[in-house]
């Protein structure tokens, strides 16, 4: 009877303890439903399944889920081994959120917050980086002037530039339009304050009754470090109508993209009937070629419509010059002035980009 009474007393005491409003471990005055106090050098909580730790709270304020991770746990941080889902039952990524997000602060890519106006872009290999919209914030155009060659001073803080350049177009002749100038794009390293000198091509002259057409000249830009200059070639004159070529050299420069200018077009002759008795010959003197990576700008060749029955010209138009950058000049139309003058080639052009 005494044994049963003692058992009832113990059970009553234990039941009161586990049903208490606050339970303290290491403290006699718990302030929460579960209040754990450990020694200053001890971790206050660990949950294991067998010998594997699944939950651990460290004395530095860090918490790990799914792993012991005793070494390197960040103070006041949370380490999760596996994927975390917020509003997602089966997350397949390290963090997957099923709902809206409100971020107060910065988004960083590889530890970098980026600068004003930049965009976050994937580079295709699983990492992200900040870029400028369209690649570069600033640019400056340079045209062929009487101050050729020209120079440009690298702004403060700039260490890399991208350059687009077009060679000049060739002049038109009586058989062909002039060739279009070549195109080249490069990136190269620079030094703030560095003065870069470059030359922009001059368009070739069209043929006349007293002179042959001339080639367009190349646009050149230094590659740096003692290397030969990059060159976007000028278009050939209408005598052969070839498009401009480009140099491509092994230098510290990168992104060496190039394209030849279009060849000048040959003259074309066609015939048609004007009336029951008269016939006409139409001679279209060749159009100039367009410059590389430039869809407009070639000069139109002159046109002569000749009545072969009466041996008289019905209409004639003069050749047009090639537009900048690097358009080839149109072919001359005929042998007498002013339609005997071939169109001049368009001058070269340079654009420098930087951030």
Q: Give pLDDT, residue 163.
A: 93
Pairing relation of β-strands 303-307 and 279-284? Answer: antiparallel
- Higher-pLDDT residue of 304 and 123 is 304
DSSP alpha helices (H): ranges in the chain? 2-18
Quote the Cα angle for 248-251-257, to 5°: 40
Question: What pLDDT is attached to residue 223?
Answer: 77
**How confident is the prediction for the chain on average, in pLDDT?**
80
Give me Rg for the CA atoms of the chain.
Answer: 40
pLDDT at 229: 75
- Percent of the chain at pLDDT exceeding 70: 81
Token pair 């620079």: residue? 190
| Cis peptide upstream of residue 325 (ω within 30 degrees of 0) | yes
Report the share of the chain in percent with pLDDT over 90.
19
Mean pLDDT, rounded, for 215-232: 81
- pLDDT, residue 7, reads 42
- The domains of the chain are located at 2-97, 137-355
Q: What angle do CA 30, 33, 38 make, to 5 degrees?
A: 50
- Please give the average per-residue pLDDT across 185-190, as a whole number: 88
Mind spelling out the 3-state secondary structure of 192-236?
CCCEEEEECCCCCCCCCCCCCCCCCCCEEECCCCCCCCEEECCCC
| Residue whose entry in the numeric block shows the structure tokens 């000028």 | 234
The CA distance from 261 to 177, in Å, is: 13
Q: Confidence class of residue 65 from pLDDT cuts 50, 70 and 90?
A: low
Half-sphere exposure of 302 (CA within 13 A, CB side): 28
pLDDT: is 148 or 168 the higher one? 168
pLDDT at 14 over 50: no
Please, which residues have CB within 8 angstroms of residue 343's CB and are 6 or more apart in sequence? 171, 172, 177, 178, 206, 288, 299, 300, 301, 319, 320, 321, 322, 329, 330, 331, 332
Over range 39-60, report the average pLDDT. 79
Of 130, 149, 135, whose CA–CA distance to 353 is shortest? 135
Burial class (CB in 10 A: 0-12, 13-18, 19+), 165: buried
- Give the pLDDT confidence of 282-331 residue by residue, as tens digits: 988 888 888 888 877 788 888 989 999 999 989 888 888 888 888 877 77
Classify strands 303-307 and 312-317 as parallel, antiparallel or unpaired.
antiparallel
Q: What is the pLDDT of residue 251?
A: 58
pTM (2 d.p.): 0.62
């Amino acid at each position: 009877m005494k044994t049963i009474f003692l058992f009832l007393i113990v059970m009553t005491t234990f039941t009161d303890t586990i049903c208490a409003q606050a339970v303290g471990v290491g403290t006699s005055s718990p302030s929460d439903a579960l209040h754990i106090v450990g020694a200053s050098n001890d971790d206050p909580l660990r949950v294991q399944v067998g010998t594997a730790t699944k939950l651990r709270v460290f004395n530095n304020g860090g918490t790990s889920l799914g792993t012991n991770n005793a070494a390197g746990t960040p103070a006041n941080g949370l380490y999760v081994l596996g994927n975390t889902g917020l509003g997602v039952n089966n997350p397949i990524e390290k963090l997957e959120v099923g709902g809206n997000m409100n971020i107060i602060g910065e988004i960083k890519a590889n530890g970098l917050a980026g600068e004003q106006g930049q965009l976050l872009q994937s580079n295709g290999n699983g990492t992200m980086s900040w870029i400028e919209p369209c690649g570069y914030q600033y640019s400056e155009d340079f045209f062929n002037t009487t101050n050729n060659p020209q120079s440009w001073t690298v702004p403060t803080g700039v260490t890399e530039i991208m350059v687009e350049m077009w060679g000049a177009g060739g002049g038109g002749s009586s058989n062909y339009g002039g060739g279009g100038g070549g195109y080249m794009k490069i990136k190269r390293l620079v030094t703030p304050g560095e003065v870069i000198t470059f030359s922009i091509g001059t368009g070739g002259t069209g043929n006349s009754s007293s002179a042959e057409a001339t080639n367009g000249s190349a646009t050149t830009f230094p590659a740096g470090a003692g290397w030969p200059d990059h060159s976007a070639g000028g278009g050939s004159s209408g005598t052969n109508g070839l498009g401009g070529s480009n140099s491509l050299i092994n230098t510290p420069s990168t992104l060496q993209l190039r394209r030849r200018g279009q060849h000048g077009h040959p003259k074309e002759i066609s015939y048609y009937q004007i009336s029951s008795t008269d016939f006409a010959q139409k001679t279209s003197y060749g159009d100039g070629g367009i410059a590389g990576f430039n869809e407009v700008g070639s000069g139109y060749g002159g046109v002569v419509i000749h009545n072969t029955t009466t041996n008289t010209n019905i209409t004639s138009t003069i050749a047009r010059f090639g537009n900048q950058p690097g358009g080839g000049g149109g072919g001359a139309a005929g042998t007498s002035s002013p339609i005997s003058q071939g169109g001049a080639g368009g001058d070269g052009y340079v654009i420098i980009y930087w951030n």
